[in-house]
Amino acid sequence: MNTSGNVSGAVNAAIVILGASGDLAKRKLIPALSKLYDKSQIDPKSVIVGTGRTEFSDVSFREHFGIPGDFSERLHYHKGIPGLKKYIDSLGSFDRIVFFMALPPVAYGRTAGELLREGFGTEANLIIEKPFGYDYESSHILNSELTGYFKERQIFRIDHYLAKEAVQNILVFRFANSIFYPVWNSRYVESIQINAYEKIGVEDRGAYFDDAGIIRDMIQNHLTQLLCLITMEAPVSLDPAEIQAQKINVLKAVRVSDCRRFQYRGYHDEKGVAEGSSTETFAEMKLFIDNFRWTGMPIYIRAGKALNRKGTEIGIKFKHIPRLLFNVDGKISENKIIFKIQPSSGIVVDMESKVPGDNLEIANTNMSFCYRESFPAEIPEAYQKLLYDALKGDRTLFVSAEETETAWEKFGPFLDQGELGYYEKGSAPELCLARDWIDFESYLPICR
């Protein structure tokens, strides 16, 4: 979704991966750049330069990724940052220089300073991965440090959820279809429920996760972005600054009223987890948005690991119809709209219909839109979209400094706080905050 007005096409750039010998470069970045190159979205004169402490020649660096063809010839390697500017200048003339920091977050600020001292300036753009800080204070310090070296417009904070096609489609669904807009408010909607369930535990991320927990790892960033998109006001235009402004308005109005934290049994046995750790692996939160559109309507956010299923989805649950006509006995279900984000992508509209026959029997039915059925072509992986947008300078799908700090400010009082409940691996904790939670599992067969 190119919303910035930039003309699409090949971009002539030097793409520098800082920390290029790591897992992220091999699993995500180089394959994504290879696909962009194959689709002629990267100019043939562009180069991909890896840097790091590991000793590589250009040849051994190319062999490290095992990608054949012309794209491999665009890969180069330079050890460390000293001398990097002169090295890139020797490779050609480029419209943009994009640095992807595949580094520990603690190194972001220091590395930005090194790049500035090396001679990179207004032509440079920095892409950084979450976590953007550990809490409000650390986030504010990081943003201040980065903007002390480069302008905010040069900094691209990645939240890969925003690049998922199903997530981008939320704004299209809301603002390109007039039938939904009039009822998108607390007068008609009973609750909004957002889930991010994973079947796997912390696996090899135990050390990182034990310092973070599920609220920092998922809710404060990915799921908060989903919340903003599903509840924000219509922007004046599709300019990235306008979209970010509306998301910030939502965040400013958010009020977290309750939080329940849980941990799966056996978590302490995971590699890297501290003995006696009280880190939560599942959290259920209740929020409100104190503005005219959503006042009084609860929002439930749940995220966790080692659960009974995998799935990320948003549920819009509408209010009951009156006990009249077809609903005298009050048995008709509420209408729902389900946005399925992953592993399958689609939208389900839940409704009531008459069962064919002489009797006036009503059944719950649905209409569904499934991405893979409607658009059989390959759906781009998130990093493809994000890297291409960063190369063009399109900031629509990236997170601003104010967004990150406002989100931390809202969730800060609930970090590492409250009693800890427990659940068995492969099951889910008993939900207690939602009065009538949506049975998302019943929608699993749709859009597989």
Chain position carrying tokens 């020649």: 57
- Whether 99 has a pLDDT exceeding 70, the answer reads yes
Q: Return the minimum-mean-pLDDT range out of 20-29, 41-50, 118-127, 357-366.
A: 357-366
Which has the minimum average pLDDT: 5-14, 247-256, 290-299?
5-14
With cut-offs at 50, 70 and 90, classify the pLDDT of residue 184.
Answer: very high
Q: Are residues 304 and 414 in the same domain?
A: yes
pLDDT at 217: 94
CATH number of the CATH domain containing 301: 3.30.360.10
166 and 117 co-located in one domain: no
User: Does 139 reside within a domain?
Assistant: no
pLDDT for the residue 204: 86
Going by pLDDT thresholds of 50, 70 and 90, the confidence category of residue 2 is very low
Judgement on whether residues 91 and 180 belong to the same structural domain of the protein? no
Q: Which amino acid is at 171?
A: L
Residues 282 and 170 in one domain: yes
**Alpha carbon distance 151, 445 (integer Å):** 47
Residue 6 belongs to a domain: no
- Is a pLDDT exceeding 70 seen at residue 19? yes
Three-class SS state of 142: helix
Whether the per-residue pLDDT at 321 is higher than 80: the answer is no
Residue 283 has pLDDT above 50, yes or no: yes
Is 331 inside a domain boundary?
yes
Q: For residues 216 and 85, state if they share a domain.
A: no
pLDDT, residue 430, reads 84
Q: What is the CATH number of the domain that holds 117?
A: 3.40.50.720
Q: Is the pLDDT of residue 330 over 80?
A: no
Question: Which residues form the domain of 261?
Answer: 162-380+401-443
Q: What percent of the chain has pLDDT over 70?
A: 98
More confident of the two residues 282 and 375: 282
- The residue from 111, 129, 147 where one domain ends is 129
Residue 2 lies in a domain: no
pLDDT recorded at residue 376: 74
**Cα separation of 414 and 222, whole Å?**
17
More confident residue, 442 or 214: 214
Q: Cβ distance 387 to 32 under 8 Å?
A: yes
Query: Does residue 405 surpass a pLDDT of 80?
Result: yes
Q: Note whether 331 and 415 are same-domain residues.
A: yes
- pLDDT at residue 333 in the model: 82
State residue 9's pLDDT score. Answer: 63
Is residue 320 a contact partner of residue 329, using CB atoms and an 8 Å limit?
Answer: no
3, pLDDT greater than 50 = no
Residues 206 and 339 grouped into a single domain: yes
- Verify that 407 and 279 share a domain, yes or no: yes
119 with 175, same domain: the answer is no
Q: Which two tokens stand for residue 391?
A: 């190369």
Is 235 inside a domain boundary? yes
pLDDT(226) > 90: yes
The residue-averaged pLDDT of 136-165 equals 94
What's the number of domains the chain is made of? 2
Is residue 263 a part of any domain in this protein? yes
Domain boundary, last residue among 76, 106, 129: 129
- pLDDT the model gives residue 7: 36
Instruction: Reply yes or no on whether the pLDDT at 47 is more than 90.
Output: yes
> Could you list the active site residues?
222
In a domain, 271, yes or no: yes
Beta bridge partners of 138: none
Size (the chain), residues: 448
Share of the chain above pLDDT 90, in %: 68
Last residue of a domain, one of 81, 108, 129: 129
Q: Are residues 120 and 257 in the same domain?
A: no
Q: Could you say which DSSP state residue 42 is in?
A: B
Q: Is 345 in contact with 373 (CB distance < 8 Å)? A: no
Q: Which of residues 448 and 123 earns the better pLDDT score?
A: 123
Mean pLDDT along residues 75-99: 94
Cβ(229)–Cβ(247) under 8 Å? yes
Residues 229 and 340 in one domain: yes
Q: Exposed e or buried b for every residue in 50-72, given b needs 16+ CB within 10 A? A: bbbeeebeeeebbebbeeeeebb
Residues 103 and 172 in one domain: no
Q: How confident is the model at residue 6 (pLDDT cuts 50, 70, 90)?
A: very low
Q: Is residue 199 part of a domain?
A: yes
Q: Report the pLDDT value the prediction gives residue 95, as an integer from 0 to 100.
A: 86
Q: Cβ–Cβ contacts within 10 Å for residue 281, how many?
A: 30
Mean pLDDT for the chain overall = 90
Asked if residue 4 has pLDDT above 60, the reply is no
